[in-house]
Chain A
């Protein structure tokens, strides 16, 4: 009996030490340990996509019932608007042709010309503190490999910042959302020579879907309504990705430094598809 108890304690201590080692190693950016999950991810991916599809259909069915009446009214208004827009399309098509000609003439580059944009489906949602990243269906097989110095910006369909890729295995990747307390990015006010600052997630604001800007230069002017974009400093994110608007400016509790509460443009509740920006390899 005493032998069994000793064995159990030994097993427990051994497993604990092993897991602590795994935690430490896997917390290193680009850790090869993340590839241990590849076989399970490969098996789970089709199951998850099927489950997501079923969930979407069930949710969609109930939502469609709820929204039916509203959509009918909206549809009438949209039909009228559609007629007006059709005429505008012709005008815009002509404007587009002129723009392309001008762009070529002035050698104007696209804002993110050096980046490849890859669409990805959101597979899982966050499930609480320390387990609050979400998974997407792109991984190293799609050419995304996270290292200590390389990660990828994740944006929504309107190119608004969602977060960054935290780790990848063969078929999936984990995304750290920008409202997460572990996320930080260099940001600037979207004006010519706008002041640089740091934008990060906080525990306090995360539940409200907000984040915080700090390290604001003392002479900088920052007002509610100002728009923040990525500054491009650090090289991880391209410059100019819209982040959010300033909701309020306050003084930090522990110092006289100013902080700003930011409402991100991107919504995180109903996120189903995101886009990963892959820059040219260094």
Chain B
């Protein structure tokens, strides 16, 4: 595959994944909820792209998925972009640097970032209350987080597993086509271990 064809493959596949994930996320009925939570597909996509394909991809996919998130359900523009951009970059830096990329650590990252994302929103709600004259006690926010997090993590893990396989086998890169990624020079590993 020529580099030009590979480039367009990346663009088209990523565009498709972002559109499908974001639209599904805001359309999924409550009947597919796990412990009251539906999967946060845009967050999972940003985290997995960062982890599997490096910080550049994590950065761009985080921004694009965040834009769709803001567009479809955000109170403001930019918040989703900011959060998912950092999720994409951070996921490329964490386990990626210390472990060979594999499914197990991909799932660990999804669980970790589900919790980190919820914690970030909790802090944001505490620092920037929606109504200026209303104070939200930190304990109350923490209790909400404690109740909602298990379901959210489970729902995200359930959705992450098929998404990992999709990104590996029907992803933006051919399975052996990641040798040119600067991130990979750190690890000397351009292949994804599926098993």
Interface residues of A, Cβ cutoff 8 Å to B: 4, 8, 11-12, 15-16, 19-23, 26-27, 33-34, 36-37, 40-41, 44, 47-48, 51-52, 55, 59, 123-135, 166, 174, 176, 180-182, 184, 200, 202-204, 207, 269
Q: Given the known A-B contacts A15-B63, A20-B82, are A203 and B125 also in contact in the complex, defined by CB atoms under 8 Å? A: yes
- A132 partner residues in chain B, CB cutoff 8 A: 73, 75
- A33 partner residues in chain B, CB cutoff 8 A: 77
Which residues in chain B, 98-157, are within 8 Å of chain A measured between CB atoms? 118, 121-122, 124-125, 129-131, 134, 136, 140-141, 144, 152
Most B CB contacts (10 A, CB to CB) among A11, A131, A133, A180 go to A131
Are A26 and B78 touching (Cβ within 8 A)?
yes
Are A127 and B25 touching (Cβ within 8 A)?
yes
Q: Given the known A-B contacts A203-B125, A203-B141, A204-B140, are A133 and B78 also in contact in the complex, defined by CB atoms under 8 Å? A: no
Q: Tell which of B6-14, B27-35, B159-167 binds the partner.
A: B27-35
Are A26 and B77 touching (Cβ within 8 A)?
yes
- Shortest Cβ gap from A39 to chain B (Å): 11
- A23 partner residues in chain B, CB cutoff 8 A: 76-79, 82
Bound complex: CA A155 to CA B89 (Å): 42
Are A200 and B73 touching (Cβ within 8 A)?
no
Considering only CB atoms and an 8 Å cut-off, how many residues of chain B contact the other chain?
A: 48
Can you add 4 more A-B contacts, CB < 8 Å, to A27-B76, A130-B74?
A27-B75, A128-B40, A129-B121, A184-B131
- Shortest Cβ gap from A62 to chain B (Å): 8
- B179 partner residues in chain A, CB cutoff 8 A: none
- A41 partner residues in chain B, CB cutoff 8 A: 71
- A181 partner residues in chain B, CB cutoff 8 A: 129-131, 134, 136
Q: Given the known A-B contacts A129-B121, A131-B74, A133-B73, are A269 and B85 also in contact in the complex, defined by CB atoms under 8 Å? A: no
Bound complex: CA A134 to CA B71 (Å): 10
A-B contact pairs, 21 of them (CB 8 A): A12-B59, A15-B85, A19-B82, A20-B78, A20-B82, A26-B76, A27-B75, A44-B72, A51-B27, A125-B73, A127-B69, A128-B40, A128-B152, A129-B125, A130-B125, A131-B75, A181-B131, A181-B134, A182-B75, A203-B136, A203-B144
Bound complex: CA A26 to CA B77 (Å): 6
Q: Given the known A-B contacts A20-B82, A130-B121, are A48 and B27 also in contact in the complex, defined by CB atoms under 8 Å? A: yes
Are B78 and A19 touching (Cβ within 8 A)?
yes
Are A59 and B73 touching (Cβ within 8 A)?
no
Q: Across chains A and B, which 3 residue pairs bring their CB atoms closest together, nearest first?
A: A182-B130, A124-B26, A22-B78
- Shortest Cβ gap from A1 to chain B (Å): 9
Interface residues of B, Cβ cutoff 8 Å to A: 19, 23-31, 38, 40, 55, 59, 63, 67-82, 85, 89, 118, 121-122, 124-125, 129-131, 134, 136, 140-141, 144, 152, 182
- A207 partner residues in chain B, CB cutoff 8 A: 144
Bound complex: CA A8 to CA B182 (Å): 12
Smallest Cβ-Cβ distance to A62: which chain B residue: B31
Are A22 and B23 touching (Cβ within 8 A)?
no
Bound complex: CA A124 to CA B69 (Å): 11
- B144 partner residues in chain A, CB cutoff 8 A: 203-204, 207
- B134 partner residues in chain A, CB cutoff 8 A: 181, 200, 202
Bound complex: CA A130 to CA B129 (Å): 11
Bound complex: CA A222 to CA B143 (Å): 30
Bound complex: CA A26 to CA B82 (Å): 14
Tell which of B19, B73, B140, B141 touches A135, judged by Cβ atoms closer than 8 Å.
B73
Are A52 and B76 touching (Cβ within 8 A)?
no
Are A22 and B71 touching (Cβ within 8 A)?
no
Tell which of A44, A47, A130, A184 touches B75, judged by Cβ atoms closer than 8 Å.
A130
Q: Given the known A-B contacts A26-B77, A59-B31, A182-B75, are A131 and B69 also in contact in the complex, defined by CB atoms under 8 Å? A: yes
- B152 partner residues in chain A, CB cutoff 8 A: 128
